[in-house]
Amino acid sequence: MSADQLEPSEKRVAVGRRVFLGMAGLGALGIAFGARAQNAVSNVLGSGLGGLLPGGDNFRIYSITGTYPVIPRDEYRLTVSGLVTRPATFTIDDLEAMPSTSMVREFQCVTGWVVPNVHWEGVKLSQILDTVGVKPGAVALTFESYDGADSESLTLDQARLPDVIVAYRMLGAPVTTQHGGPVRLYVAPMFGYKSLKWLSAIRVVDRVQPGFWEQNGYPVNGWVDGSIGPTDPSLTR
């Protein structure tokens, strides 16, 4: 199933910043999966229900809510606020006008599935941070999704790694709705759960605020090449 084949459902859901967006259903499995946030993680970890739909590219399409926000390209906004000197709102045109970075990496979910040679393109998060200016006292970033459910965190040092990007292209095309388009986070050195989809906002904050997956047991620091055991939030690489 491609994104264009999906009918926007009649359900309208309020998400961050009071934008009302159509939500597209993922079907029965997706609804079951999204029924309870708590179940999401145990399903992912346990039964293999985490794979909602094959993406046609060996990805499994994940959504905590069982639906996903459909955000027209020209309505997309990324707000950056918190401990910054110049709070800003970026459109996709704004992001595309910034220097771009691309890379080809293996994508790995903690549940075990791996997609080799995935092409990504976007803007380095460090570039966005330099644009808004990080204030003294800033320690971490909090990320919010248009789905109103997922959230993520990175330390400032992690966020400044050269392979952490705000991605607008993936698999050689604009990021699809299913994969978190028009814009998602891509944290190359960490497991897939760190790469928050439908990125709506970034807040620069004074301490790490563990995100959705971390509140449900995933390590705050999801390094692919390291331990995923108990971690120290101040750990950087």
Ligand X SMILES: Nc1nc2c(c(=O)[nH]1)N[C@H]1C(S)=C(S)[C@@H](COP(=O)(O)O)O[C@H]1N2
What residues make contact with ligand X under the rule CB under 6 A? 55, 59-64, 109, 145, 147, 150, 179-180, 192-193, 195-198
Q: Min. distance of Cβ 80 from ligand X in angstroms?
A: 18
Residues 6 or more apart whose CB falls under 8 angstroms from that of 112 comprise none
Left if phi > 0, otherwise alpha if psi is -120 to 50, otherwise beta: which for 194?
Answer: alpha
Token pair 């959504």: residue: 63
Query: Residues interacting with Mo ion, by CB under 5 A?
Result: 109, 192-193
Q: Report, in Å, the least distance between residue 60 CB and Mo ion.
A: 8
Other CB atoms within 10 A of residue 62 CB = 26
Q: How far is the CB of 13 from ligand X (least distance, A)?
A: 13
| CB-CB neighbours of 142 under 10 Å | 19
Name which of ligand X, Mo ion, none residue 169 binds, using a CB cut-off of 5 to 8 Å depending on partner kind.
Answer: none
Judge contact between 179 and 59, C-beta under 8 A.
yes
First to last CA, the chain: 38
Which residue's CB atom is positioned nearest to ligand X? 192
Choice between 17 and 135, CB closer to ligand X: 17
Q: Which is nearer to Mo ion, 128 or 224 (CB)?
A: 224
Which partner from the list ligand X, Mo ion, none does 151 bind, CB cut-off 5 to 8 Å by kind?
Answer: none
Q: Strand, coil or helix: what is 50?
A: coil
Q: For residues 26 and 92, which CB has a smaller minimum distance to ligand X in the complex?
A: 26
Q: How far is the CB of 68 from Mo ion (least distance, A)?
A: 15
32 or 133: CB nearest ligand X = 32
Report whether 178 contacts 196 (CB < 8 A): no
Minimal distance, residue 57 CB to Mo ion, in Å: 15
Do residues 102 and 121 make contact, with C-beta atoms less than 8 angstroms apart?
yes
Nearer to Mo ion, 109 or 128 (CB): 109
